[in-house]
Structure 1
């Protein structure tokens, strides 16, 4: 089945489904990862602004004017001042110049650049409220600034400036993005592997059905080839010799009946393997079934059927058991080297023996597999389709029995079909 076009198409479909599954998972994860990254970035920015604004507003309320002098002592020991990256207080210049730096930590060079500080002071006077501004410090580093006014009467006389460096927050955000990307990649690979596994499991019934179809076609060809060839010979003989036409016609009718039984058996086997039909076992005379099955073979004159001492009854399907017996005898005729074939029936047992070259011990199990013929060691590629003995073992298994081959006493091959003993009243 590995090389059939239908199987190849199913395998390509499996890989296509795997890629689609992985692509769909990757697309969904990409959307979720993008949303997560944006939400994290906005959340970090809001957290940074909230912390800086809270510090600036709280510290601005601790400052006051004493005789027109801004008291900045609380900035040194207030809890809100602890942990701020940059902290400073500026006061408006009475002369109208740039705001004057009254207090700073860690130093004036860490406060906003003079140009930015001038814009902040102008905007603060215009809005009369807290500000959030992003801009460079005097050292050129980009800082997020929170500015809160300090009131002197009805005017903004000073301001508290708190600066937080967003670099660490960006580093944490970038680290999170990398981990999310790595996790999404791992999930895509896991999804692809899971999709490949699930698509394989989903297609297993289809592959099994294709395999069963191929096996059924091979077995049907194996079963129908001999009676069709015999039917053709009978018709040709009758057409070539008019006086033999009645006998040929009788032979053709017999072979047609056999073909009808074979087709019925093939359909029953196909339905049983597909699970649409259950095996129905009925009591039957195994010895009579063996005699009839052998009589239908074109080379039955070279087959000796030994009658048992008493009738042999088993529970089974007559068509399937007859097919198994025919396959055993045909295998012995085909690979027995032209030697006589003997068929013996005993309670729960059919023995088919030839005196041919036999089969090496290491190949006696192998020949029961489909695709392997029952010839000698060098005959693994000999005549036949390699389905006959496989069908025998399959039929035996359906009936709760077994099939095996072993070396016959005195040389040759002995094939056995064993069936469970029959108990009256079952």
Structure 2
């Protein structure tokens, strides 16, 4: 059992916090008032300022080295240090923030300098992203979407042999809360022979997890699946906004391009692999008859404990709902156990050809839908391509997103005997 399970913090708001109790301690990058851009740790409704903690000489040894890297205006340097440095920093943070900390009185006296209210802070992307790759490992989403385009053959033969992915556009990754401008492009209207140009009419979201890469590899040196976990720094929420009408026209023969590259939203907090350790579980067994992964994609330990049990939620708040003071409406509830491939398999496959991964790279899992209604991670699936509008509690309907609509993604880990932890929110409002 995780030794931090029953621990409480002297930061009162952390105790019972739905996302950021003492057991989580995710890292992010923030600005606050006149402070420079810097790294911090979420604890309850506060941000623990790593630069202020360093100035107060609160860290020693490896933990100080790690805190220095994590206190900068990006987490790339921290990600590059790997698991041992993350663990050292986490151990020291648990010690400092515990309600039984020997330094509690001193820390509380310094709390105005060390702790900033989240409501007073602005969050930024945690790292400078060099490369972004979006996978397609949510098998139920792949089947649902495949049926719309290929009713008799929803999954292509390669799907169960390798983790499908495409290289996305890192330049338009944006932090939660950034408005999403409706894109324009070419689309082929029903019954038309030639495409037309104009604003997207079928704008959609995609419920995904983001994977932050830690230490990289050298060009030409694949990462073995047994070593893949050492290259994963942490996780976040990811919304891969999608222009479905543009996508339908452009995706063959090469795949997504302008229909995906206009915006991808990420939640600002990086939940570390260490915080998620209590929520690891066996990868769901493949259906009878499915192929065994090729040798470079199979590791017994990964199959036994390489999956994560994370509950995922999609909420919608329209402009009209907001005006009337209504709460966001849940559209879907899913889980990361709907991944056909593990994160380690994604890392192993991405690098098997010698591709160089770098600290701060981002992987998207692909849309993580469940097998049943109420578990679908996109409007494309929920409405069957726009055929069946969704009715909202105030009588509005939606097939795809309209101006003023705000999509909110949340995620939470729960397991008996452990304190639940969350990821915060990944929000985006449609403009235009």
The alignment's TM-score, normalised by the length of structure 1, stands at: 0.20
Structure with the bigger percentage of strand: 2
Higher helix share: 1
Q: Taking CA–CA contacts closer than 8 Å with sequence separation of 6 or more, which of the two structures ends up with the larger relative contact order?
A: 2
Q: Which has the larger radius of gyration?
A: 1
Task: Compute the TM-score of the two structures, normalised by the length of structure 2.
Answer: 0.20
